[in-house]
Chain A
Amino acid sequence: MSEKLHPVTIEVNGVRREAQVPARLSLVDFLRDELRLTGTHVGCEHGICGACSVMLDGEPVRSCLMYTVQADGHKLTTVEGLVQADGSLSVLQDSFCETHGLQCGYCTSGMLIAAQALLNANPDPSEAQIREAIGGNLCRCTGYQQIVEAVRLAAERMK
């Protein structure tokens, strides 16, 4: 590869990561291929499906629409970063298991990121607010019903 490389420093799930990356390397490719954080998935690569959602300084973003260099100096949270310090599932993750809020698991990481961002901002969301918050994340398996139930359950359990 003869492409010019650019230095980046990004805090990913609490760990400081330094790398040299080409300007055109998307953030999701960096996470998956360079850091091997394969929990973040690629769905459409044009910003619609939300499978690649990660949190950038606490806000959900599409990592397929961002270049790695744009994340320089920022803090990222991926699905791997949602698990608790002792390795156990978060309340939200556990709630997804309780309501079976997933099937194939492919959109799940992005759903969890979108839902966790909602709960961080609004600990007691209504069904309409939950649907709004995950409205940018497509799921082909569940019809969303058990996902909405999972987010409601997590909110109840965190009260």
Chain B
Amino acid sequence: MSEFRYIGRKRRTKEDPRFVSGRGRYVADVALPGMKHVALVASPHASARIVSIDAKPALAMPGVLAVVAGEEFCAATDSLAIGVDAPKVTRWALARGVVRYAGEWVAAVVADTRALAEDAAELVEVEYEPLPPVIEAEKALAPGAPLVHPAHGSNVLYRRKFIWGPVEEAFAKCAHRIAFRATWGRSATVPIETFGVAAQWDPGTGILDIWASIQMPKYPDQAARALRLPGNAVRVHYDVDVGGSYGVKRGIKHTVLVGYLARKLCVPVRFLEDRLENMRGGDMQGPDRFFDMQVAFDGDGVIHAMKIRAVDDVGAYAGRSPFQLGKPVSAICGPYAIPAIEYEPTSVMTNKTPQEAVRGFGQSPTNFAIERAIDRVARHLGMDRVELRRKNLIRRDRFPYTIPSGSTYDSGDYHAVLDKALAAAGYPALVAARDEARKAGRLAGIGVSTCLEPSGGNSAFEVLFNPKNETTTWMESCLVRIDLSGAITGVINNSSSGQGHESLVSTVLGEILERDPATIRVVRADSLTALPSNSPVGSRMAIMLGGAAVGAARQIRETLLAIAAHNFECSAEDLEYKDGNVSLKGAPEKKLTWDQLVEIAHRKFHKLPPRTEPGLQAKFVWEVPTGGGLPTPEGRIQIYPCYAFEAHIVYVEIDPDTGKPEIGKYVCGHDCGVMINPDIVHGMTFGGIAHGIGAALYEKFSYTEDGQLASGTFMDYLIPSAMEVPAMKIVDHCTPSPLTTFGQKGSGEAGYLGAPAAIANAVNDALEPLGTSIDALPMTHLAIWTAITRSRKGSEHSVVPAKAGTQKS
């Protein structure tokens, strides 16, 4: 790390001071003069025909400006874009004719205040004719199932069977095979800030201004298209702080609705979801997936092939969600040297809330299924789980390593990271502690997971899953300006939701220009002044925004060297750049300082080299390294450039009387290459683990049989607090990426990608003496208690409470 001046060192972030003093500026803090407010009328049925809507009593209320329903809205705007090729699966913010899930928006009321809008929304009379809903994926796949979108002709949104390598041969030859189903429950990131958007239409300029709590690629473009406006008529303000997102803040339907209302009424309009709207009608639930797993392996534990059938329930509409089955193609064999894979992703529609992107974009569920498979193989063979992993992990001398599905892993040292994590966890002592606990009759288990975090946010699963989509670039940009005073400003082109992009860019610019990052300001363009960006998704900003900032800063450096060379009448190779000053090699007194160079650039055209633009600024637009390719006919493609690795070790004890698991120790070995700001990387990793604890043990969007969301509040959708999340230890390792400037990889989704798998493995290790196992998340207290209770029937085995170990149960 010592080769860097600022990178990798402890630095306070640029962003934290404004947040701790209550000076963040979130969308709810944007107050536009004369602003009106929206409340929604939501469907109480999971599936129904809308017979009639009577808005007259609502419109008669003082302070109510408008009530808009689907007939008007859908005629005036276009359907939202969807990722896969399914043109009949149309989607608008307001339902037209039918509703397809409970909570779907049927009408929008605009009034002087939110309270009045809610009062009026209660007066909107909607008559429904209920239809039979289909709530479970397997039932939706069955012949004769009710169709969520009859015009589409099927509830299957996307299905393809990929075969990469000699899968059947391996299954025929191998001495051992296992098959099981792993189920990932429907949860999401559920940020503490709900989604919100404010819009203002200026008929004079013909510009629709938008402020939103957004984290979404191509957001301005999609909003403009749906509103039938040219792209340059929509101006998204990126200087809005986003109160958490982790993937889900893609309120495109909210935006088109509010944009339409603001334009129609010629007044500023704002909509802020309340918590139920966020969890039910906000379309921000995550993957809801089961995996039928088959593994073929030798008696010595070497895995030769895997078959994965993944069925994902995306809810009632498509959006971008089917692609969450696509990202895992980029790491479909995990960190293991498995030469043959069959993968059958199936995306199914049901009458539930639509799915949105969640941290890791489908990779964490897949990692969970693979890691359950690894543990089951070990259990089948009676082998140690760590040894089995060591045997199958890709060895460090095999990088760059191309996996069967066509992506090449850039670098890694998986064995070293696993060993470090085991050492930090005190693994032998931990095993001894578990065995002691078991001897005392307690339920204790150790969980291990070794997982990948594909990073760099290429979107090549789009071309893989949709041949009509030829998006092969996923660029990111940065503009760097040096003003006449010599101060540096970096301009970025997206909003942030806690990832520390201002700290990232200032650190990178400081490193290249050799100027103190504390003096560097980072600001955000709006979408009409912005350079191309694809927003902070897919763990990409350290790589892509960092790379773009490097490119721009290097141009500034080269310009400064060229100016000095011109004035010293020498070649740039004879010069030395240090701290922003340029001097002649071997003659340090022959020097032009930063201030002098900046002044020449801004004021002294006569001292500038020929063909040099006056002023001092540079832009750089970077394409994703390794990006640009199209898939082969077998569906092989390079998707992500960089692969971070994590090894989790967890110790759990379970209270047999309540099924409550308690995490006694948590260690995560993590290798994301060179860290630009270790506090930020560690923070996101801790947060990812906490989120993974939620997905593994607590969080679920549960539905009743008739399709009502049964967990629409924080009293039944359980987010882990500081009491459920233990103290954690992260052990860093650094295998630089050869594809990035400083060797960095992405880490925005770290922790979450391996935590659910490790916790599931720990719970199952604890249950192993009872001869039972659980392969469905979340492993709620009830689910664990049920497994314990069932296993006790017919067995004499008894266990005692986890903590005290004194009371026989």
Chain A residues engaging chain B, CB cutoff 8 angstroms = 1-2, 24, 32, 36-46, 48-49, 51, 78-80, 82-83, 89, 93-94, 96-100, 102-109, 112, 127, 130-132, 134-148
B180 at the interface (CB under 8 A from A): no
A97: B residues at CB distance < 8 A: 12-13, 16-17, 20
Interface string of B179-195 (1 = CB under 8 A from A): 00000000001111110
Q: A41-B192, A93-B21, A139-B687 are in contact. List 15 more A-B contacts (CB 8 A).
A: A38-B22, A48-B713, A48-B714, A79-B20, A79-B21, A82-B21, A100-B679, A100-B683, A102-B20, A105-B18, A140-B244, A142-B683, A143-B686, A146-B686, A148-B722
Also in contact, A106 and B683, with CB within 8 A (given A43-B192, A44-B713, A46-B715): no
| Cα–Cα distance between A93 and B679 once the two chains are bound (Å) | 17
Q: Which of A46, A82, A109 contacts B275 (CB 8 A)?
A: A46
B645 at the interface (CB under 8 A from A): no
Check if B498 sits within 8 Å of A104, measured CB to CB.
yes
B209 at the interface (CB under 8 A from A): no
Check if A106 sits within 8 Å of B244, measured CB to CB.
yes
A141: B residues at CB distance < 8 A: 244, 498, 683-684, 687
Also in contact, A138 and B721, with CB within 8 A (given A1-B116, A83-B21, A105-B15): yes
- Dominant secondary structure at the B interface: loop
For the complex of A and B, the 3 pairs showing the least CB-CB separation, nearest first, are A39-B22, A105-B19, A106-B243
Interface string of B234-265 (1 = CB under 8 A from A): 00000001111110000000000000000000
Also in contact, A45 and B722, with CB within 8 A (given A89-B17, A96-B20): no
Check if A80 sits within 8 Å of B22, measured CB to CB.
yes
Look across to chain B and name the residue whose beta carbon is closest to the beta carbon of A3: B115
User: Closest Cβ of chain A: how far from B352's Cβ, in Å?
Assistant: 22
Check if B275 sits within 8 Å of A45, measured CB to CB.
yes
Check if A104 sits within 8 Å of B12, measured CB to CB.
no
| Cα–Cα distance between A59 and B16 once the two chains are bound (Å) | 25
Look across to chain A and name the residue whose beta carbon is closest to the beta carbon of B685: A143
User: Closest Cβ of chain B: how far from A132's Cβ, in Å?
Assistant: 7
| Cα–Cα distance between A141 and B245 once the two chains are bound (Å) | 9
B723 at the interface (CB under 8 A from A): yes
| Cα–Cα distance between A99 and B13 once the two chains are bound (Å) | 10
Q: Which of B112, B113, B189, B751 contacts A140 (CB 8 A)?
A: B189
Interface string of B687-705 (1 = CB under 8 A from A): 1111100000000000000
Check if A103 sits within 8 Å of B499, measured CB to CB.
yes
User: Closest Cβ of chain A: how far from B261's Cβ, in Å?
Assistant: 20
A106: B residues at CB distance < 8 A: 24, 26, 191-193, 243-244
Check if B713 sits within 8 Å of A99, measured CB to CB.
no
B244: A residues at CB distance < 8 A: 103-104, 106, 140-141
| Cα–Cα distance between A32 and B498 once the two chains are bound (Å) | 22
User: Closest Cβ of chain A: how far from B437's Cβ, in Å?
Assistant: 21
Look across to chain B and name the residue whose beta carbon is closest to the beta carbon of A127: B727
Look across to chain A and name the residue whose beta carbon is closest to the beta carbon of B29: A38
A99: B residues at CB distance < 8 A: 679
Check if A42 sits within 8 Å of B62, measured CB to CB.
no
